[in-house]
Amino acid sequence: MKMRNNKYRKPTSLRCNAGSRCSTPVAVWALVGFLIVLQLWNLISHTNIQSKHAHHSSMIHHPLLRELQVVEEENIQMPPPRRRSPRAAKRKPKRATTLVDEFLDENSQIRHVFFPSAKMAVDPTKDNGNDSFYYYPGRVWLDTEGNPIQAHGGGILYDERSETYYWYGEYKDGPTYHAHKKGAARVDVIGVGCYSSKDLWTWKNEGIVLAAEPENEAHDLHKSNILERPKVIYNSKTAKYVMWMHIDDTNYTKASVGVATSSTPVGPFTYLHSKRPHNSDSRDMTIFKDDDNTAYIIYSSDDNSELHIGPLDKDYLDVTGVVRRVLVGQHREAPAVFKYDGTYYMITSGCTGWAPNEARAHAAESMMGNWETMGDPCVVGGNSKVFRFATFFSQGSFVVPVFGFEGLFVFMADRWNPADLRDSRYVWLPLIVGGAVDRPLDYSFGFPLWSRVSIYWHRRWRLPPQWNGNIV
Ligand code: DGJ
């Protein structure tokens, strides 16, 4: 059948330049060429990444780290349902109770699984025999004076000058109450606790290095306010230890950061001021000091719907005008940042108050982004998926590098006890960077440029005995 010449029909040849025409075969060959180049590029980047993974894998297959990567089983059994009177059963539509409900129920029959009795406390001062240096996540952990460590939502500074670790955190040794019916459980501000250690296991109480203000109600540190997630870094230019923290009122509407400084790691710190960084609301936060001494603040903002990241000024006393919104719409809090092999990593939690939720790992080639989400880093065997999906019933606060062991870090988390916040526990676990990520990324043809972050559950574990605590 003869086709009619239709002026609206697309020409079968492509117009390349004005005046010249390319035939269909040329276009097809161009396309084939383009696809070949794309495949080659893909192959090369894949090979690079494979070799990077192989490099990491050989490091993480270091025999000393192997036992930290054993996937331990955890099978927490739900207790049998409690008897309810027929009337009570009618009143409330029944929803299946979850392990998280059990965790949050202070009268749960399996309370001891989440909050082992004080009799089982880890006491580094006693003769522990074969138990020396072992972490028992979730157990009460005593300082060198025999008191439970009070450093919640904390972070660790390795002080090169004294070759000592300092652990700073919320000192919460007071009664838990609700300021009003709908308010979150709280403890009045007491201050920032500081503990020192050479081995990350035996901790000496250095006292409250930034204390609450008992009288002046207008003061940020007045006991009726909120002081959370303090972190300290050292500024070698000013020779000051600089503390940043989340400062808020009891309803979490002030949403600010506070800054304090000291000439020694054990304080006392002098409180300078609070502000909303970059004119944004700021709640959970952390700070991170990079190898080039640039420090960054990372905070949950826009009602916790996104994170903001920005460099601090040279003195680490203020933010600069530079800020980047990241993980927009992902509703993450409790950021903990670390760096490995030139890549930046971050662990975050979801936003469910004191209740545990699923952690996520993120990675970026630069602190200012792009930050990509890699999924849940928690690894545990057994039938308790909830345990994994609730960060082992805890919420991250900081990640500490283990010097001398490539790719090995300690993930520090809080197992909050909203019924009695002072009895919140610490969950410290090995975090290892290495191996291929679980999920391909859409934009980079399925080959992300970084490795998997894994946090391995252990009921009992220790750092490699060869580790001597210092930078090598
Ligand atoms: C979750 C945050 O991560 C904690 O620091 C604390 O602010 C609680 N929310 C309060 O509910």
Residues 242-254: tens digit of each pLDDT: 999 999 999 999 9
Give dist(CA 233, CA 315) in Å, integer: 11
Q: What is the pLDDT of residues 361-403, one digit of tens each?
A: 999 999 999 999 988 999 999 888 899 999 999 999 999 999 9
Q: What is the mean pLDDT of residues 17-41?
A: 60
Task: Tell how far the Cα of 351 is from the centroid of ligand 1, in angstroms.
Answer: 8
Q: Is the pTM of this model over 0.75?
A: yes
Specify the pLDDT at position 445. 56
Lowest mean pLDDT among 37-46, 84-93, 97-106: 37-46
> What pLDDT does residue 252 have?
97
Distance of CA 318 to the CA centre of its chain: 23
Residue type, 11: P
Give the bridge partners for 234, in sequence order.
Answer: 241
pLDDT value at 158 more than 90: yes
Among 283, 347, 412, the mutation site with the greatest number of ligand 1 atoms within 8 A of its Cβ is: 283
User: What is the residue with the minimal CA distance to atom 10 of ligand 1?
Assistant: 353
> Which segment of 18-32, 145-159, 451-465 scores lowest on mean pLDDT?
18-32
Higher pLDDT among residues 438 and 192, named by residue? 192
Count of alpha carbons within 13 angstroms of residue 3, beta-carbon side: 4
- Does pLDDT of 406 surpass 50? yes
Which amino acid, residue 327?
L
Confidence of residue 63 (pLDDT cuts 50, 70, 90): confident
How high is the pLDDT of residue 39? 55
pLDDT surpasses 70 at 156: yes
Measure CA 462 to chain center: 20
Contact 412, 154 (CB under 8 A): yes
Q: Which residue matches tokens 């086709």?
A: 3
d(CA 401, CA 139): 23
pLDDT at 56 over 60: no
Note the pLDDT of residue 38.
54
Model pLDDT, residue 149: 98
pLDDT at 89 over 90: no
User: Can you list the alpha helix ranges (DSSP code H) found in 295-338?
Assistant: none
Q: Over range 36-59, report the average pLDDT.
A: 48
Substitution candidate for ligand 1 out of 104, 172, 284 with most atoms within 8 A of CB: 284
Ligand 1: which of 152, 187, 192, 228 to mutate, judged by most atoms within 8 Å of the beta carbon? 228
Does 171 score more than 90 pLDDT? yes
CA of 100 to the centre of ligand 1 (A): 17
User: What is the whole-number distance in angstroms between the Cα of residue 156 and the centre of ligand 1?
Assistant: 19
More confident residue, 55 or 101: 101
Q: Is 57 helix (H, G, I), strand (E, B) or coil?
A: helix
For 247-279, the pLDDT digits (tens) are: 999 999 999 999 999 999 999 999 999 999 999
* Cα distances (Å, whole numbers) of residue 276 to 213, 245, 252, 315: 21, 12, 13, 18
Lowest mean pLDDT segment, chosen from 55-69, 91-105, 161-175: 55-69
The pLDDT, as a whole number, for residue 43 is 44
Task: Name residues contacting ligand 1 (CB within 6 A).
Answer: 153, 184, 228-229, 284, 333-334, 353-354, 395
Question: Rounded mean pLDDT of the chain?
Answer: 88
pLDDT digits (tens, 9 = 90+) for 333-345: 999 999 999 999 9
Give the whole-number percent of the chain exceeding pLDDT 70.
85
Task: Give the mean pLDDT of 127-138.
Answer: 94
321: pLDDT strictly greater than 50: yes
Q: Amino acid identity, residue 355?
A: A
Cα–ligand 1 centroid distance for 12 (angstroms):
64
pLDDT band of residue 47 (cuts 50, 70, 90) is very low
Closest ligand 1 atom, CA of 229? 5
Residue 14's pLDDT is: 32
Query: Does residue 18 or residue 183 have the better pLDDT?
Result: 183
Domain ranges within the chain, ordered by starting residue: 55-456
Amino acid at 337: V
CATH level 2 (architecture), domain 55-456: 5 Propeller (2.115)
The mean pLDDT of 169-173, rounded to a whole number, is: 98
